[in-house]
Chain A
Amino acid sequence: MPRLLLFIPLALFISLSFFLWKGLSIDPRELPSALIDKPFPEFQVAALLEPERILSKADFIGKPVLVNVWATWCPSCRQEHEQLLRIAQDNKIDIIGLNYKDEREAATNWLRQLGNPYAFNIYDEAGMLGLDLGVYGAPETYLLDAQGVVRHRHVGVVTAQTWVELQAMIQALGVSQ
């Protein structure tokens, strides 16, 4: 028995190395959302393209959707725009835009010039809905299930690879419902 005890430091060292090695591949900027498995916050906010239309949660409940937080001041949003257009073309899921702390005119022009992948856009001028959602920058993309519960948060640019991962998650949602 005492002989085996001598291996305790080695075992501790190996487990510590494992965790440190694992830590290398973790992106510290990617925070877990506090809202995972919690309902999307309630809101009453005007639409971007139709200022007189007031949007609320009821507008997207009933099927899984992606909520994409974007703004014209955000260069990474420009970078992911092509991919969002491709996702919209795939027609598997609606993308809802959350235009975050932006100017209405600039955002409208952006959609006109670059194409509009969004089913509709929530115009969150003061960023208060973003605050309720725990947004800390743009772009961020949330996957909501049919009940409007947040299932996944993606921080940063949506790439082709992200879309592959999202599709798997959407499929899993479809199966469980």
Chain B
Amino acid sequence: MLRFFILVLLSITSAYAAIDTYEFKDKGKELRFHELSADMRCPKCQNQNLADSNAAIATDLKQKIYLMLEADKSDTEIIDYMVARYGDFVLYEPRFNAQNAVLWLGPGALLLFGLIIVIWLTRSRNKSAANTEQAPELDAKQQKQLQQVLDKGKK
């Protein structure tokens, strides 16, 4: 009985591990295929890349990448082709454009904003500190009083 279960379990895992294979004559192209399919997101199962996904659409897109590589298309051509159809969404490393400029520049802008505030705060603090350091001038009478107080403290 146990043996039967183990067999069933093993057959299930092997069914899930189905991987499509593409034959490349050129090692470089094969490498680029793996890089491209790892860097693109499957539009259907959204938290998987094309390489990991078994969705029908991911298979189609991989097939398309394969055909385009075999047709000697460049990486940028392939990426442009995908973005033209599926939008920036397919890229795991989104490109800079007007729509996502806030996301790209936001952290830098916030950091700059914070730095400016810190500088501004320290400056105004220094200024007020400098103000208190400047002791007012004492006249002769006050000088004498001060001396008396200091002397008392010594005793």
Contact = CB atoms under 8 A, between A and B. Distances in A.
Nearest to B64: A131
B87 interface: yes
A136 to B, nearest CB: 4
A62 interface: no
B60 A137 contact: no
A131 B89 contact: no
Interface string B30-59: 000000000000011010000000001100
Contacts of B56: 101, 127, 137
Interface stretch (A24-32, A49-57, A85-93, A166-174): A24-32
B46 A35 contact: no
Contact of A31 (B43, B61, B84): B43
B117 to A, nearest CB: 8
What DSSP secondary structure best describes chain A's contact surface? loop
B87 A136 contact: no
Interface residues of B, number: 14
B27 interface: no
Contacts of B85: 34-35, 131-134
Categorize the interface residue count of chain A: 10 to 19
A35 B86 CA distance: 8
A28 B45 CA distance: 11
21 contacts: A28-B46, A31-B43, A31-B86, A31-B89, A32-B87, A32-B89, A33-B87, A34-B84, A34-B87, A101-B56, A127-B56, A131-B60, A131-B61, A131-B64, A131-B85, A134-B85, A134-B87, A136-B57, A136-B86, A137-B44, A137-B56
